[in-house]
């Protein structure tokens, strides 16, 4: 039908809406409902993204947990090779009647390492040497007859007679390690005292026995 009957047009004319204006409030309300509904459609995608991130984090954590022991071993090996630049030892000797002596030893020389068994030289197979600077302090008296260190049958005479003062001596290889690891005896006058182990360097894990 391409043309209306004039009578039908007259009847419909009475039903025409006059001054019609678009219902923008209804349009905006519908648009709001669409925006509110859109996140609901996106939610599965966001959940999937969050799950992928969680799985990735768990995989990274697992890799770190597996690799941690290897990293610890490498770090320990690097630290065990770190040289000890210097050491210090302090030994007190009681001489009776409120008198005492104090011997301080500082050493430098061939590179040292330190672990649970004590000090050891880092360069195996070559001659090693440590220079020991010593200082003797007397308390309650001005002089003693002698001061000396004994290790493995060797005697290192510091002074005779002795007053407060100091000096320098050199020890090589196993003799140096004996003194550094507290396996020597100090004599001041007639009193004897075990020389304290040297302090210095980072204490590390066990290793092969030293000289």
- Bridge partners, residue 162, by sequence: 144
Q: Are 150 and 185 in contact (CB under 8 A)?
A: yes
Q: In this predicted structure, what is the pLDDT of residue 39?
A: 53
Query: pTM for the complete prediction?
Result: 0.56
Q: Is residue 15 pLDDT above 50, yes or no?
A: yes
Across the chain, the runs of DSSP E, i.e. the strands, are 87-96, 99-109, 112-115, 118-121, 129-139, 147-151, 154-159, 165-172, 185-188, 191-194
The 10 Å Cβ neighbour count of residue 167 is: 11
Residue-wise pLDDT for 120-176, tens only, equals: 999 877 789 999 999 999 999 999 999 999 998 899 999 999 999 999 999 999 999
Q: Cα(88)–Cα(188) distance, rounded to whole angstroms?
A: 19
Q: Cα(143)–Cα(189) distance, rounded to whole angstroms?
A: 9
Q: In this predicted structure, what is the pLDDT of residue 197?
A: 93
Q: In this predicted structure, what is the pLDDT of residue 10?
A: 61
Residue-wise pLDDT for 28-84, tens only, equals: 566 555 555 455 555 566 666 777 777 676 676 665 565 555 444 434 444 444 567
């Amino acid at each position: 039908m391409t043309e209306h009957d004039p009578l039908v047009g007259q009847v419909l004319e009475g039903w025409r809406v006059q001054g019609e204006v678009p219902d923008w409030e209804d349009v905006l309300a519908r648009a709001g409902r669409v925006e509110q509904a859109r996140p609901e459609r996106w939610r599965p995608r966001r959940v999937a993204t969050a799950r992928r991130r969680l799985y990735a984090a768990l995989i990274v954590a697992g890799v770190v947990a597996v690799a941690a022991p290897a990293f610890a071993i490498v770090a320990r090996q690097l630290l065990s090779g770190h040289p000890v630049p210097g050491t210090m030892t302090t030994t007190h000797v009681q001489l009776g009647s409120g008198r005492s002596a104090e011997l301080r030893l500082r050493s430098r020389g061939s590179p040292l390492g330190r672990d649970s068994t004590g000090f050891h030289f880092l360069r195996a197979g070559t001659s090693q040497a440590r220079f020991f600077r010593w200082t003797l302090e007397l308390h309650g008296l001005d002089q003693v007859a002698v001061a000396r260190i004994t290790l493995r049958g060797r005697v290192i005479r510091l002074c005779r007679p002795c007053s407060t003062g100091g000096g320098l001596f050199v020890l090589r290889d196993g003799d140096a390690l004996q003194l550094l690891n507290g396996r020597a005896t100090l004599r001041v006058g007639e009193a004897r005292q075990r020389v304290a182990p040297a302090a210095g360097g980072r204490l590390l894990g066990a290793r092969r026995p030293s000289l």
